[in-house]
Structure 1
Amino acid sequence: MFAAGLSACSMPSSGPNRNEIFSGSVLREGDAYIVAVGDRVNRAANVPLARGFSDTLRNAALMGGDTIRIGDTVSLTVYENVPEGLLASADSRGATLTDLQVDSQGFIYVPFAGRVRAAGQTPEGLRGTIARQLDEQTPDPQVYVSRTSGDGATVSLVGSLGAQGVYPIVRPTRRLTAMLAAAGGVTIPTQSTVITVNRGSISDRVWLQDLFDHPELDIALRGGDRVLVEQDQRRFTVMGATGAQALVTFDSQVLTAIEALAQVGGLDATRADPTGVFVFRNEPAEVARNVLGRQDITGDQRLVYVLDLTAPNGMFMARDFQIRDGDTIYVTEASAVTWNRTIATLTGTLSIAGGAVSTAETAGDL
């Protein structure tokens, strides 16, 4: 009768137990591969997250910081060596022309010099061109040219920066890190900051820290580049007998199972089974082949990694096992907890039933 009552009861639980998870193995009723984590599995499963710039971005040559481009604006100051020059007034021998925009064909218009090609020249080269054209009408003119801001070569910077905006590429800001500094720097923790650079159809991402660890990633910028600075968006889920049930965002480039559990308060000391820490993951075929030691695997595979923290090297295995984006970490309850809950439920049921019988007998006596 007790066994019948036990089987009839639906026991409350925080999730599946070890046996129920193992029943989902390909060796039993399911389609998941159950894998115990060891040194070999760690080496096969801990595939580094590939982030970096493509050869197209890394091989781009450094731009001439003072090269004038279509859309830029330039300013001219012309000094003449005659009392009454072409541009100078009676009070001053110098004339300043500001905000001369380079048109769509690459020219600017300078009085008495006409249309002058500016695009592709440096300010020094443009100075010489204008001086030669004015020299035909005024003796030995002295010309000063400066390139001011314009949209000829600009970069858009958005996201977690001190000052988002559109910035011109000038000599001090021809590389990515210099441009980030010009925009006020990054305002989020550097260890979890991701930089995305969009150039035409190319969209590449890199860790901010890698820009400093690997100088070759500090790419040369191009006009029209769009740069996004954001917090790492990878997440994992923790469920079961832990300090909290949560969807957690990564706070570093590499996160191990031990660190992930620590972020939610660790294992619940009153409920958790330290031999039953499971990591559920969909693995690509190439990783699954290495983990399982099988070459007949095709397509993504469901893998359940098992961590036994009570094993002699269990804590080391968990410390070395890396969590990835989309992982689900589940900690089973200890069998004693399940048993105690079952007994408590049955005891409560029997007490209620006993009370009902007692009430019925009392009513019969009446």
Structure 2
Amino acid sequence: MTSTVYRSARVAALCVLVTAVSACGLLPRAGPTRNEIFAGSVQREGDAFVVEVNQRVTAATAVVPALGFPPELINAGVADTDVIRPGDRVSFTIYENVTDGLLAGQGSAAAVIEEVEVDGAGFIFIPYAGRIRAAGNTPEALRGVITRNLDEQTPDPQIIVRRTAGDGSTVTVTGVVGGQGVYPIQRPTRTLSAMLAAAGGVTVAPEIAQVTLVRGNHRGTIWFQDLFRDPTVDIALRGGDRILVEEDSRDFTALGATGTQTIVPFESQVISAIEAIASVGGLNPNLADPTGVFVLRNEPEPIARAVLGRDDLIGAQRMVYVLDLTAPTGMFEARDFVIRDGDTVYVTAAPITQWNNAIGALTGTLGAARTVGNTAN
């Protein structure tokens, strides 16, 4: 009987010690417990709103980056690539109706003049035809001007005009593309998607590629994939446009009882809480408390008001969203809750984990003390 009482007393004493050690926070751990997070809520005079996720909260917080082009870019018509501009290069073949022509020379029926560059003022020089304004004309219109000028020098000249390079109307393509550089706008590359293809395409996953176009005072950014989903954003290009392709820079932080604790870049345009957890190896089966999955963020004032149903909030609010994966709809809520840039996803440790750590710490300490005592004796 005495032995039984003694053993019970020892167990009770050990329980008291474990509870005391755990309560004092003497044990190492990855972060606060579920109860400690709730204790820091505004409802308990803390500084963050703790909100359990449901369908209403999911709908109010489902905000993704709003990307698009302004009307000034979308409504621009396709450029006429046949119009010659300063900086373009034009080639000519001139046939003369005589055996000894002005340009063709003895024994030749035609003269070829290659790659004549249109100067900054828009003019070119053709022997015997003189200085001619080329900029603003199409090759056909320029052919007529040269024909009239040469007709006074040689009978019935026949002229072929070719715009061989369109360097007078170019765009700059930079960023994560196959080939950065300055590209002329030509008939096959008059739209944004065609120009990106000419530059070698994007070199990151298409799901996370963003395309920014700057034209004068107007600029806009779209997802690369939208070029193929929505034809209206495959806008017509203009000379001087600047195109920048970047990888999505958004990320979130995973902490606590997850497979990996790290900063995680977004791998798609929209990431749910369940996908965020899966991307870091899921919950640690030996540590995690599935009732304590938290998403921490600074919520903009309009969204915070919608979530809390209050109109007295001013400025961004600290929000802690709670996901209980053991609830009947918990997995569905986690699947629908959208993670945003800068979020912290934190998974608390299960209470039994703290208990086991306390037991291990105490038994290890007592064992070490017993060894020291035996050595001293």
Q: Is the 8 A contact 1:65 1:172 kept in 2?
A: no
More deviation, 26-35/318-327:
26-35
Give the Cα separation in 2 of the matches to 1:125 and 1:244.
68
CA offset digits 1:265-295 (Å, max 9, x no partner) = 1001111000111111122212222112122
Tell me the equivalent position of 2:254: 238
Give the Cα separation in 2 of the matches to 1:67 and 1:300.
53
> Unaligned stretches of 5+ in structure 1?
none
The alignment yields a C-alpha RMSD, in angstroms, of: 1.9
Counterpart secondary structure, 1:48: coil
State whether structure 2 residue 261 is matched by structure 1 residue 261.
no
Instruction: State the AA in 2 paired with 1:342.
Output: A
Tell me the equivalent position of 2:40: 24
State whether structure 2 residue 358 is matched by structure 1 residue 342.
yes
Normalization by structure 2: what TM-score?
Answer: 0.90
Instruction: State the AA in 1 paired with 2:273.
Output: A
Instruction: State the AA in 1 paired with 2:197.
Output: A
Tell me the equivalent position of 2:300: 284
> Unaligned stretches of 5+ in structure 2?
1-12
Q: Pairwise mapping of residues 152-171 of structure 1 onto structure 2 (< 5 A)?
A: 152-171=168-187
More deviation, 228-237/349-358:
349-358
Counterpart secondary structure, 2:174: strand
Q: 1:184 to 1:8 in 2, by over 3 A?
A: closer
Instruction: State the AA in 2 paired with 1:211.
Output: L
Give the Cα separation in 1 of the matches to 2:69 and 2:337.
27
Q: Is the 8 A contact 2:212 2:222 kept in 1?
A: yes
Tell me the equivalent position of 1:119: 135
Give the Cα separation in 2 of the matches to 1:102 and 1:299.
58
Q: Is the 8 A contact 2:178 2:202 kept in 1?
A: yes
Give the Cα separation in 2 of the matches to 1:201 and 1:349.
70
Normalization by structure 1: what TM-score?
Answer: 0.93
Give the Cα separation in 2 of the matches to 1:5 and 1:53.
61
Give the Cα separation in 2 of the matches to 1:8 and 1:77.
93
State whether structure 2 residue 337 is matched by structure 1 residue 327.
no
Give the Cα separation in 1 of the matches to 2:347 and 2:24.
26
Q: Is the 8 A contact 1:79 1:88 kept in 2?
A: yes
Identity, % of aligned positions: 58
Give the Cα separation in 2 of the matches to 1:206 and 1:232.
11
Alignment partner for residue 198 of structure 2, among 175, 182, 196? 182
**1:9 to partner: Cα distance:** 6.3
**1:220 to partner: Cα distance:** 0.5
Give the Cα separation in 1 of the matches to 2:25 and 2:35.
18
Counterpart secondary structure, 1:346: helix
**1:352 to partner: Cα distance:** 2.9
Q: Is the 8 A contact 2:99 2:107 kept in 1?
A: no
Counterpart secondary structure, 2:112: strand
Q: Pairwise mapping of residues 8-157 of structure 1 onto structure 2 (< 5 A)?
A: 10-157=26-173
Give the Cα separation in 1 of the matches to 2:276 and 2:42.
28
Q: Is the 8 A contact 2:255 2:345 kept in 1?
A: yes
Q: Is the 8 A contact 2:100 2:108 kept in 1?
A: no
**1:264 to partner: Cα distance:** 1.0
Q: Is the 8 A contact 2:117 2:124 kept in 1?
A: yes
**Paired residues, number:** 361
Q: 1:178 to 1:34 in 2, by over 3 A?
A: same
**1:5 to partner: Cα distance:** 5.8
Give the Cα separation in 2 of the matches to 1:103 and 1:9.
78
Counterpart secondary structure, 1:27: helix
State whether structure 2 residue 225 is matched by structure 1 residue 209.
yes
More deviation, 218-227/7-16:
7-16
Give the Cα separation in 1 of the matches to 2:107 and 2:204.
55
Counterpart secondary structure, 1:294: coil
